[in-house]
Amino acid sequence: MDVITLKDCRKALIAALWFMFLTFPLLVIKVNTTENLVIWRWHNLLYVGVAAGSASLLTSIFRGLHDRKREQQRHQEKVIHISLTERFFSNPVVSRPVLAAGALFFLIFPLLFSTYQVNIMTTALMYVVLGLGLNIVVGVAGLLNLGYVAFYAVGAYTYALLNMHFGVGFWVALPLGGIMAALFGILLGFPVLRLRGDYLAIVTLGFGEIILLVLKNWAEFSQGPGGISNISRPGFFGMEMSMATTLNYQYYLTIAMVLLTIFVINRLQNSRIGRALFALREDEIACQAMGIDKTTIKLTAFALGATWAGLAGVLFAAKNAYVNPDSFTFLESAMILCIVVLGGMGSIVGVIIGALILILLPEYLRAFSDYRMLAFGALLVIMMVFRPQGIVANIRRSYHKKDSAP
């Protein structure tokens, strides 16, 4: 069996030609309007052709090797396939130092980097919370929610309005924001109880738009598109803090929030409720036949997911000291959904990695400013084609081994 076959070469050639054709207008033709000149940059075409051809060839080789390995495995008797993540977590000698190093990195992050970096990281960590929250709804319970950002908005505006009208502080508003969002989650949950898949997605999308439009247009309530400013930042027993200290404080606050989220969601997933949510995703009818009340469990999923969005919303309002409806557009929902899908549906570690990649990458790609979003889009496409299960696939959980081991 050859590594490269004639078929692979032909495929590479076609790919090269196709990409040359596609990028022709963009990369080859350059019109200089001031001098009425058309500049033909043919060398770009060559680069594109070579790049696309070799990329295709490399993929074929990689695929071939992969297939061969799998073929060999099939001949061996009873190969138990265990994913990389599972091996990582089942081996404490490897996983513990890595996790410890990760924890240390995040702990001393503000000491190592500038306030700008800290600010970006705080934002990314907030998306971790949002991603983990949406993961309950989409990843675990399998209910596609395209209006998740609405709950984020509810949380943020709960704090903003309470602070503006009654001077309520951050720590009081935090649980209130969560509860408020949970109530809105249940409110959305009722009309969509019978819906699944595409239909559910459309209704949730509409719900998100409704919240956004209300915030934009009901000026007496929300101050309209101008937003609410001068929201108090989170306090720490009334201490006076400098700008840099405040940023660091917010960073650690967000870290604490992420840890709390991971802790709670991890426990929930390995519980009676968590299993019921998983079962709901797998098969709704069988789920009911096992004595699970579909209504309760769906509303639980919506409320649980929304709670985290509400908490993150309060954090967001406090961090920026300003909210306006433009922060809660559909694009945000799509972004959070991308985090969950890219990271791996139903997987906590996956969602964390997904959030960090998706939020940090565009920031650090600013150097290639023109191609930033192009590279970002390409990454998403490649990821979904080659690894649709996400970066970290769902890990199978084992209950009885833990108990039997001393």
If one asks whether residue 399 binds another protein (CB under 8 A), the answer comes out as yes
Q: Candidates 16-24, 54-62, 111-119, 271-279 — which segment interacts with another protein by CB under 8 A?
A: 271-279
Q: How far apart are CA 186 and CA 204, in angstroms?
A: 12
If one asks whether residue 185 binds another protein (CB under 8 A), the answer comes out as no
Cβ count near 134 (within 10 Å): 28
Q: How far apart are CA 189 and CA 202, in angstroms?
A: 13
Q: How far apart are CA 261 and CA 332, in angstroms?
A: 20
At 260, which helix (H) or strand (E)?
A: helix 243-269
Q: How far apart are CA 218 and CA 157, in angstroms?
A: 13
If one asks whether residue 91 binds another protein (CB under 8 A), the answer comes out as no
Q: Candidates 11-19, 165-173, 262-270, 379-387 — which segment interacts with another protein by CB under 8 A?
A: 262-270
Please give the radius of gyration of the chain, using alpha carbons only, rounded to the nearest integer: 25
Residue 195 is classified by DSSP as: -
If one asks whether residue 310 binds another protein (CB under 8 A), the answer comes out as no
Q: How far apart are CA 4 and CA 9, in angstroms?
A: 7
Could you give the dihedral angle defined by the CA atoms of residues 172, 173, 175 and 181, in that order, rounded to the nearest 10 degrees? 160
If one asks whether residue 306 binds another protein (CB under 8 A), the answer comes out as no
If one asks whether residue 273 binds another protein (CB under 8 A), the answer comes out as yes
Query: Minimum distance between the CB of residue 386 and another protein, rounded to whole angstroms?
Result: 20
If one asks whether residue 73 binds another protein (CB under 8 A), the answer comes out as no
Q: Which is nearer to another protein, 291 or 406 (CB)?
A: 291
If one asks whether residue 271 binds another protein (CB under 8 A), the answer comes out as yes
Q: Contact, 131 vs 374, CB < 8 A? A: no
If one asks whether residue 233 binds another protein (CB under 8 A), the answer comes out as no
If one asks whether residue 281 binds another protein (CB under 8 A), the answer comes out as yes
If one asks whether residue 401 binds another protein (CB under 8 A), the answer comes out as yes
Identified binder of another protein from the candidate list 13, 55, 268, 349, rule CB under 8 A: 268
Q: Which two tokens stand for residue 24?
A: 């022709």
What are the residues binding another protein (CB under 8 A)?
264, 267-268, 271-276, 278-279, 281-283, 285-294, 300, 304, 394, 396-401, 403
